[in-house]
Amino acid sequence: MCFYWKRDGDDLVVVGVYVDDLLATGTSAAAVERFFASLASLSIKDLGRVSKFLGMRVTHNGQNGYTLDQEEAIRDLLRDNGLADANSTWTPIDDSCYELKEGDEELLGTPSAKIGPTVRQF
């Protein structure tokens, strides 16, 4: 995913591009419309307000902007691993467990974190 932005006075348009998909938003509907008008020579379909993008559910709240979640992907992962009917439980952990103190080294991700383990691997 690559992001591009265009500022025109007080207006800002941000465009996310993934292969042949575009996702555009801006500070005003008029700014987004002008952006798409500038691409009129290309064969682009406006599919309206986004509801799903790259496997994420996208919801829009006029006051707070956009929210992304992957509930469907999580449910699929649980189903694929035979855990769809598993019971959940609350397992609180003390906030101080993650508190870095002066002199502590910052925790860094390990290369294995990029592999993307499944629920069963835990």
Quote the CA–CA distance of 6 and 12 in Å, as a whole number. Answer: 6
> Does the residue 20 lie in any domain?
yes
Please give the helix or strand (H or E) that residue 1 lies within, else none: none
Average pLDDT over residues 84-91: 86
The residue segments making up the domain with residue 28 are: 1-42
Structure tokens at 86: 């598993």
What pLDDT does residue 78 have?
92
Query: Mean pLDDT over residues 36-50, rounded?
Result: 88
Q: Based on the fold, state whether residues 55 and 24 are members of the same structural domain.
A: no
Same domain for 38 and 1, yes or no, is yes
Residue 33 belongs to a domain: yes
* Residue 9 counted as domain residue: yes
What is the average pLDDT across 68-73?
Answer: 91
Domain match, 37 and 3 both: yes
Buried b (16+ CB within 10 A) or exposed e, 54-85: eeeeeeeeeeeeeeeeeeeeeeeeeeeeeeee
Please indicate, yes or no, if residue 115 is contained in any of the structural domains: no
How many domains does the chain contain in total? 2
For residues 18 and 102, what is the distance between their CA atoms, to the nearest angstrom? Answer: 41
pLDDT recorded at residue 19: 92
Least confident residue range of 24-38, 51-65, 83-97: 83-97
Residue 16 lies in a domain: yes
Work out the average pLDDT over 1-19: 93
Looking at the fold, whether 38 and 61 belong to one and the same domain comes out as no
Asked whether residue 2 falls in the same domain as residue 38, the answer is yes
| pTM greater than the 0.85 cutoff | no
Q: Is residue 17 part of a domain?
A: yes
| Domain contains 97 | no
Task: Establish if 96 belongs to a structural domain.
Answer: no
